[in-house]
Structure formats: structure tokens, C-alpha cells
Amino acid sequence: MRQLWQNVAAGQIFGIRDGALPRGGAITFAKCLEKAAPLPPIGCVPACLPFMSQDSSTTLGRPGFAIPRLSLPAGLLISLGLIAIAAGIEHVMGRLFFCKCGTFKLWYGGRGGPEMSQHLTDWYSYSHVVHGIVFYGLLSLAARGRLSVAARLVIATGLEVSWEIFENTSIIINRYRAQTISRGYFGDSIVNSVGDMLSMLVGFLLAARLPAWVTVFLLIAAEVLLLALIRDNLTLNVIMLIHPVEWIKAWQMGGFADASG
């Protein structure tokens, strides 16, 4: 910055050369330099320089570009709209709205069976709450304060929506049936998929509201609880989808055998 100010004094910037100052500009320029501070703040332009445009301060200071801040109500509306679009896409894909059993339940607490992933919420809803916590943490690190909570919520919803649609394709359904304990899995019902996406919203908003240590505690508690109750959680789900481990699968199947016995 010191070198920049010296260049100003020497008339080497702003297009000033020998004899290039406007009429009376040399006297004005000299008086201005006498009054100006030796090192003005970044982006500051002395008001007595008639030949400088006020817009030129932008080139000396911070960039004028800023990402618009999205309000939380607007972010929630956009997120709910994305969830509705995902439900429509799943309908086009041939997914059922409700369980084939003909009943609607707010909660299904069974382990496996044909009604798993067919009602609004089940044990795996907690995994989707964990999705929201993880998305909040990762997006906060990536954004570094440049995005509002609402904007990050919309991005997280887009990621969750994309996964829910992909999860209900034959590729993932067959992968679940072949490599995980979900041998009877044939895809989510639309109402269950909507419940999963709403669970992600809950997890994200909790992470945005609660202290970081409480959020981390909830994440660990949910993973440990699912591991103890159904021998499955988000961590094992990812492992078994990407790189199946036979002893993990055997241990999980043993849990089903104990439950049925």
C-alpha cells in the first residue's frame, strides 16, 4: 500500500503523466497530497481529486460482490418445494404413496419386514436426522460465513432430495437387497421418503440452533442407539453400500435371528 501511495504522489497511476494533469490539476493535486494522510485506508479516495472517479475506490478496496442473504422462511419454503418435487418424481418412477398393507402409520417400530420404509417414520428416520446434522457441519465449513443458514438449508435439501430419488432406483434397491440386511427391501413409499426428507430438515435446524457440543452429542447418541436397537446406523449403512464386510453382515443378521426367535 505504501508503494501505491508513492506512485500516486509521483503521478504514475490513474493515467497521469508529465503534462497530463487537467488545467489547475497540478496545484490541486499538490495541495491534496499535503492534506492527505501518509497511508490512507484501503479503498479511500481523497475527495479533492477532481480527476478521479468515485468508482475507482472499488479497485483499491474490497470487491463489491456479495452473495445475497436468503431469509429462513424463504429457505424453508424452497426446501418444502424441493421435497414436493421429489415426491412427484418418485410417483412418476412408479413408487407407491402408502404401504401396500393398506394402513397408514405415523411410526413403525418393527425391525425389517415388509412394512419397513413404508410408513411416515421408522428407525431409519433417526439416520436422516443425522444427515441433517452432517450436512449442516460440512456446509458451514465449506461456506465459511458466505452463505446464510437458509441458503445452506436449501443446498442440504437438494442433496437429500437427490439421494432419496437415487435411493429408490433399481440400482440402489438391488444393492441393498444383495449386500445389506435389507433383503426384503423393495424401495420406500412416497410418504416414507417425504418423512425421511423432513427428518433431515429437523436435524439441520437442530444443528443450526443448538451449541456445537450438543449437536455432536446428539449425532453420537443417535448412531449408538440405532446400533444397539437394530444393529444398523448411518455409518454401517454407508460401509455396507460402498464396501460390504461379511462379518458385519453376519452380525446384523444374527440380530434379526434373535429378534424372530
Give the residue ranges of DSSP H helices in 110-211.
125-143, 149-167, 170-179, 190-209
Q: How confident is the model at residue 55 (pLDDT cuts 50, 70, 90)?
A: very low
Q: How confident is the model at residue 32 (pLDDT cuts 50, 70, 90)?
A: low
Burial 223-260 (b: 16+ CB within 10 A, else e): beebeeebbbbbebbeebeeeeeeebeeebeebbeeee
The pLDDT of residue 57 is above 50: no
pLDDT at 37: 54
The pLDDT of residue 51 is above 50: no
The pLDDT of residue 260 is above 60: no
Distance of CA 217 to the CA centre of its chain: 20
Report the C-alpha gap between 163 and 197 in whole angstroms.
10
Report helix, strand or coil for 245. Answer: coil
pLDDT at 35: 57
Q: How confident is the model at residue 138 (pLDDT cuts 50, 70, 90)?
A: very high
The model's pLDDT over 211-232, given as tens digits with 9 standing for 90+, comes to 999 999 999 999 999 999 999 9
Higher pLDDT, 37 or 143: 143
pLDDT at 178: 81
Determine the average pLDDT of the residues in 150-154: 97
Higher pLDDT, 20 or 113: 113
Q: How confident is the model at residue 145 (pLDDT cuts 50, 70, 90)?
A: confident
Q: How confident is the model at residue 177 (pLDDT cuts 50, 70, 90)?
A: confident
Report helix, strand or coil for 4. Answer: helix
Its pTM surpasses 0.75: no
Burial 164-189 (b: 16+ CB within 10 A, else e): bbebbeeebbebbeebbbbeebbbbb
Other beta carbons less than 10 A from residue 205's beta carbon: 16
The pLDDT of residue 50 is above 80: no
pLDDT at 154: 97
pLDDT at 204: 98
The pLDDT of residue 141 is above 60: yes
Report helix, strand or coil for 107. Answer: strand
Other beta carbons less than 10 A from residue 154's beta carbon: 20
